[in-house]
Structure 1
Amino acid sequence: MMPDSNPQRPTQDLDFDPIKKLETRPPEASPEPKITAVRKTGSLLDKAKDLYQLLQQHPTIAHLLRATERFNDRLGNQFGAAITYFSFLSMIPILMLSFAAAGFILVSHPTLLQDIFGKILLSVSDPTLAATLKSTISTAVQQRTTVGIVGLLVALYSGINWMGNLREAIRAQSRDVWERKPQDEEKIWIKYFRDFVSLIGLLVALIITLSITSAAGAAQQMIISALYLDTIEWLKPVWHLVGLAISMLANYLLFFWIFWRLPRHRPRRRALIRGTFIAAVGFEVIKIVMTYTLPSLVSSPSGAAFGSVLGLLAFFYFFARLTLFCAAWIATAQYPDDRRMPGKTHR
């Protein structure tokens, strides 16, 4: 090899420091405030998503979300509106029966009938309206048998159809899948007979619950009066709580029969007990709200004409939605140490 013709190379600078050289560069422009704001907003969204996922993992909230999803997916609002319609429609034959019963009572008490006519003439200033009311009562008394028979037949038919719609709506929430299976189909005479038996059972349950409420309230008032406890002011909230507990017990018995009898498969015991308790509390809340809001609805002239109808529709609608939501809550309950309903597997 030929020797290098230029032996005097420039020597490398031993003091060269690349990091120091980078530090001496002019600083880059800081990011725009808009980008920084987006990053901060993104972090808040991420925290919110993490918090939402954390809440979803809580058993109670997860169960509530499952029940809400099933209620919405299986047309809970639409079924509730249908139940409300049939419930309101069933009031017509009930009113017919009420007129017939009033006719049988008034025909055997002529003095009571004359007292009613006299009060109508005194309280109603419009003579045309008073004559109309008097004619209606007279017709109810004269045609009491016909009105009673027609009202009974129509009430029986509408009541059976109402029970059938309520049963199908609850079964739609209780089934594993939305579509009905072939084994879920029933012959029409079996279906009507089953709905008739269920309607009789519901009426018996209503009579029992109303009897318990009335008897307990009367006994409570009699005990309070006998012991002279009605003059003690601080005990009045206690008596209200006792009455509230008795009313909730009656609600519990009613909903327990509905959720135990109407679904095709018997629900699990723990889910049935808890779901029925939620329904009893919710129904008591609905009754309390309607008690305080209905008088304000009928106070105005327009409310006097339509307020009672709207209040009745609202009552039926909230009752239907509460019933269907609690049915979805019972169906979506997951307890690792509890047995599933017959024919179901663990999810």
Structure 2
Amino acid sequence: MTPEKSEKRPTQDLDYEPVKKMEIPAEPEKSETSPPLAGKSPSFIAKVTNLVKLVESWPMVAHLIRATERFNDRMGNQFGAAITYFSFLSMIPILMVSFAAAGFVLASHPTLLQDIFNKILNNVSDPTLATTLKGTIKTAVEQRTTVGIVGLAIALYSGINWMGNLREAIRAQSRDVWERSAQDEEKIWVKYFRDFISLIGLLVALIITLSITSVAGSAQQMIISALYLDYIEWLKPAWRLIGLAISILANFLLFFWIFWRLPRHRPRKKALIRGTFIAAIGFEVIKIIMTYTLPSLVKSPSGAAFGSVLGLMAFFYFFARLTLFCAAWIATAQYKGDRRMPGKTHY
């Protein structure tokens, strides 16, 4: 009997050991199912990251990112503020020249001068303010030659410096390397002469732009009146769109001259045309916004004192930022088969 009992004990031990082995893996199953959200968060973040990378890989978005990075890395905001500062200072000698021109006109028309004095006395209730205005106008008439010559000289000097700052800011965005090279250094008389020629060219381009806009607007009104189309209401939006297109075309000519003439090297053709078109549309948007916001600023007493100054500074600032950003856009463009504009290239 003893041998049989001794043979059964190993079998019981063998039966008992598999039971322990089956119970052991039961605990890891609970631990695997306990944190259900831990596996989903990395996949969600990965999906968002892949989506962002996909959007950034689009050619237009990638181009926008490159232009923004260049604009920020090459101090586009600081250059824009500097251009705004010099633009505002340049207005002072321009006002001096305007006062001198008004003085020459009033000196040759004494009746008109007396009418202005009478309107001041009738419309200004404060006698001290009226006396001050009369004295200012009389001084402008008497010292018109001195004010005109001094104002013209200061305007020429400040205008050349303004053009130099605008040129350096656009060159900083346009050249391949941020630092200046030895070829970028110029003699001071060459620099001032070049900036003077560029200033004259910019004034000519600005006069052409304003002439196209004004002539198109007056011709449009003359055509409507000549054809007796004033009573047709649905034609007015069409004529406004035509006028808007003409204004954008005039802006295009102005910015095309800036981006083609001011950098030291000739930009690529497709990039220049597309970047100039963006600048023309942006500048028209700025003009429309300023047209509707400035009258509302002048209505309040504080706006009447500072609204025009703040509006003028905002206009210069947005113009400078738009110009420099479009210069960075043109410099970072990557179009297939895009050749440079004809002309001598400098680096």
Could you state the TM-score of these two structures normalised by the residue count of structure 2? 0.91
Aligned to 2:113: 113
Q: Distance in 2 between matches of 1:97 and 1:83?
A: 22
**Matching of residue 28 in structure 1 with residue 34 in structure 2:** no
**Matching of residue 79 in structure 1 with residue 79 in structure 2:** yes
AA partner of residue 206 (structure 2)? L
AA partner of residue 22 (structure 2)? K
Instruction: Give the Å deviation of 1:274.
Output: 0.2
Aligned to 1:167: 167
AA partner of residue 21 (structure 1)? M
Task: Output one character per residue of 1:280-329: Cα deviation in whole Å (capped at 9) or x when no partner.
Answer: 00000000001111111111101111110000000000000000000000
**Matching of residue 93 in structure 1 with residue 100 in structure 2:** no
Aligned to 1:272: 272
Aligned to 2:236: 236
Q: Distance in 2 between matches of 1:44 and 1:57?
A: 20
Instruction: Give the Å deviation of 1:332.
Output: 0.2
Asked whether the 8 Å contact 2:266–2:340 carries over to 1, the reply is no
Instruction: Give the Å deviation of 1:222.
Output: 0.4
After TM superposition, list the pairs within 5 Å mapping 1:178-193 onto structure 2: 178-193=178-193
Q: Distance in 2 between matches of 1:102 and 1:38?
A: 78
Q: Percent identity?
A: 76
Identify if the C-alpha distance between structure 1 residues 28 and 146 changes in structure 2 by more than 3 Å, giving closer, same or farther.
same
Instruction: Give the Å deviation of 1:237.
Output: 0.6
Identify if the C-alpha distance between structure 1 residues 293 and 13 changes in structure 2 by more than 3 Å, giving closer, same or farther.
same
Identify if the C-alpha distance between structure 1 residues 87 and 238 changes in structure 2 by more than 3 Å, giving closer, same or farther.
same
Aligned to 2:338: 338
Secondary structure at 2:26's aligned position in 1?
Answer: coil
Asked whether the 8 Å contact 2:269–2:340 carries over to 1, the reply is no
**Matching of residue 302 in structure 1 with residue 320 in structure 2:** no
Provide the aligned C-alpha RMSD in A.
Answer: 2.6
Q: Distance in 1 between matches of 2:24 and 2:232?
A: 86
Higher percent of residues as helix:
2
Q: Distance in 2 between matches of 1:107 and 1:310?
A: 33
Identify if the C-alpha distance between structure 1 residues 38 and 232 changes in structure 2 by more than 3 Å, giving closer, same or farther.
farther
AA partner of residue 136 (structure 2)? T
Secondary structure at 1:28's aligned position in 2?
Answer: helix
Asked whether the 8 Å contact 2:266–2:345 carries over to 1, the reply is no
Task: Output one character per residue of 1:55-90: Cα deviation in whole Å (capped at 9) or x when no partner.
Answer: 111000000000000000000000000000000000
Identify if the C-alpha distance between structure 1 residues 333 and 8 changes in structure 2 by more than 3 Å, giving closer, same or farther.
same
Structure 1 runs not aligned, ≥5 long: 1-5
Secondary structure at 2:30's aligned position in 1?
Answer: coil
Instruction: Give the Å deviation of 1:37.
Output: 4.7
Aligned to 1:254: 254
Could you state the TM-score of these two structures normalised by the residue count of structure 1? 0.91
Q: Distance in 1 between matches of 2:259 and 2:36?
A: 55
Q: Distance in 2 between matches of 1:95 and 1:7?
A: 122
Identify if the C-alpha distance between structure 1 residues 53 and 130 changes in structure 2 by more than 3 Å, giving closer, same or farther.
same
Aligned to 2:64: 64
Identify if the C-alpha distance between structure 1 residues 88 and 43 changes in structure 2 by more than 3 Å, giving closer, same or farther.
same
Aligned to 2:326: 326
AA partner of residue 28 (structure 1)? K
AA partner of residue 79 (structure 1)? F
Instruction: Give the Å deviation of 1:136.
Output: 0.6
Q: Distance in 2 between matches of 1:138 and 1:70?
A: 52
